[in-house]
A and B are shown apart, each in its own frame.
Chain A
Amino acid sequence: MLIYLHLPLSLMSINKETIKKISKLARISVSNQETNRLEKDLNSILKFVEQLNHLNTDKITPISSVSNEVLTMNKDEIKIINEKEDILKNSPEKNEDYYVVPKVIE
């Protein structure tokens, strides 16, 4: 990981191999034609966002949210939302009270 930190961002670019890797991580299959298009689009987006590299942010704290809310405890009480039968109605495939998926174990 450290290796990348010392590289200027502009040296990073996405090739077809990387597209394949990302598509695996994102669980989205991509065709060869889509790969070409994605290679072009993703590189142009990366080039655009790499402007951030012009800024020195060494002493800046990262923020993940602007919310100042302090988490509060909710009352410990039973509420009837999201009943099992209702929820299962939206499943693409079910059997009794179970979701059905392609076989995982041989």
Chain B
Amino acid sequence: MTDLCKLTLVESVQHIKEKKCAALDLLNSYIKRIEKSDKLNCFNSKDLDTAIKKAKSIDEKKDFSKILVGAPIAVKDLFCTRDVKTTASSKMLENFIPTYESTVTQKLWNEDAILLGKLNCDEFAMGSSNETSFFGNVLNPYRLNNDNLVPGGSSGGCAAAVAANLTSATVGTDTGGSIRQPAAFTGIVGLKPTYGRCSRWGIVAFASSLDQAGPMTKDVKDAALILDVISGYDEKDSTSANKPKTSFLNSLKNNVKGLKVGIPKEYRVENMPEEVNSLWQEGIKILKEQGAIIKDISLAHTKYALPTYYIIAPAEASSNLARYDGVRYGFRAEGKDLTEMYENTRSKGFGNEVKRRIMIGTYVLSSGYYDAYYLKAQKVRNLIKTDFDESFKDVDVILTPTTPTAAFKFGEKSDDPIAMYLNDIFTVTANLAGLPAISFPIKFNKDGLPLSLQLIGKSFDEQTLLNTAYSIEKEVNFKSQVKDWWM
């Protein structure tokens, strides 16, 4: 019998629609794996009893018309789920039960997908290794010999769960690379849509001008399917875009003939490992052979992207996280008066990285420093965006590596914030410019770890991104080498 968990999302739904298996069969095979996979620590909470009820009801009603019918899906624990605990992997929200559902997850359930549980991430999505979670580290299903590796972050639980076949697909969020970097570290596909493509309503906010939800999936087709479901205008998010609805999946084609692909010279960073450089060259070669036109381009302000990000993101975070005051919801510590209660609550409720970012954010927004830091960063953000606008007059997509290295070991960078931040060097630019970008796996390095490439596209042109990634995916035929060592 087919191992149902190894099916892609598209195949799983097809199986149910064609009655090759019941929704409950598919769900049970996932539950079986999930129950043997606690060691990976992907889940902050599981909702399996409700999941079984929903699968049974789908089977009983015999209505298999919805486009995600019966698909078991766990989501990042940053999406508010009605009546299901939503923690943002923080002590601050350890017992928070939302009274409403995020728009993105509601769209999944509207299409008859089944919630499996909530996936671990860095605290408030702040981190690149999942080491800042209050609920502990997530292990990467890939190891270096027998050493455990980080799954990347902040959507580390999402990435590990997809790679380990613990969910048919998932949705994560990406503020500076939080979908794409962990996708790259675990050999899966991760898509950050254009800012405004998906509603941010009901997502625990980190940096509101950068946050976007997006698919993390086993392959490109699955990413197109999830994007079809979760995208669209939402009157509850004034920054969500009102675009005509088309199906990314139905329009998917593997043809890049005549496509103009930009190769930005500024992404050739110092000390980039040879394996990453040759990976990039391989991607260029494949696209050339398939008839694409390769063009060298310049994104002159690339080196200023990370410094800009580490002013803007903490500034917005310090403002967004002001709501955690121990009064209306979440953790509360005692204090002799109101101010001391606030100060103790926030001191004990937040972890170190979150506090570090709130402090930096508060500093750069404070009187006397605002112009020198925050306003300066907003100006440089404009320069970075203009670089892309200019480049996209000549090219259709931009090809880069997703990350400067493959997955690394625990503790390797956690003592040095800057070393950790450098992980996002190739991914933050898309957030600052609001552009869509996709990471997809190409090959394994000599240690057997996945390496991935990234494509950045024009605003609201996810279709070209998906088509290009799909063409390369067909050529490289990347196959998971996860060995189930934890089971």
Contact = CB atoms under 8 A, between A and B. Distances in A.
B431 to A, nearest CB: 9
B366 interface: yes
Q: Say what secondary structure dominates the interface of chain A.
A: loop
A46 to B, nearest CB: 8
Contact of A66 (B242, B310, B363, B385): B385
B382 A26 contact: no
Interface stretch (B22-30, B350-358, B445-453): B350-358
Contacts of A103: 337-338
Contacts of B378: 62-64
A28 B346 contact: yes
Contacts of A61: 379, 382
Contacts of A91: 327-329
A37 B350 CA distance: 16
A28 B350 contact: yes
A23 B304 contact: no
B238 to A, nearest CB: 5
Given A9-B372, A52-B308, A86 B99 contact: yes
A8 to B, nearest CB: 10
A10 to B, nearest CB: 11
A95 interface: no
Contacts of A9: 372-373
A30 B347 CA distance: 7
A99 B328 contact: yes
Contacts of A66: 195, 209, 385, 432-434
A55 B318 CA distance: 26
Nearest to B364: A49
Contact of A25 (B196, B350, B366): B366
Given A65-B209, A69-B240, A28 B381 contact: no
A68 B197 CA distance: 12
A82 B339 CA distance: 27
Interface in A84-105: 86-87, 89-93, 99, 101-104
B478 interface: no
A73 B340 CA distance: 41
Given A42-B356, A51-B303, A90 B330 contact: yes
B185 interface: no
A1 B341 contact: no
Interface string A57-82: 10011111111110110100000011
Nearest to B349: A28
A12 B375 CA distance: 16
Contacts of A82: 99-100
Nearest to B309: A49
B291 interface: no
| 9 nearest CB pairs, A to B | A66-B434, A62-B378, A92-B332, A90-B329, A29-B343, A57-B379, A86-B99, A60-B379, A49-B307
Interface of A: 1, 4-5, 7, 9, 12, 14, 18-19, 22-23, 25-30, 37-38, 41-42, 44-46, 48-53, 55, 57, 60-69, 71-72, 74, 81-83, 86-87, 89-93, 99, 101-104
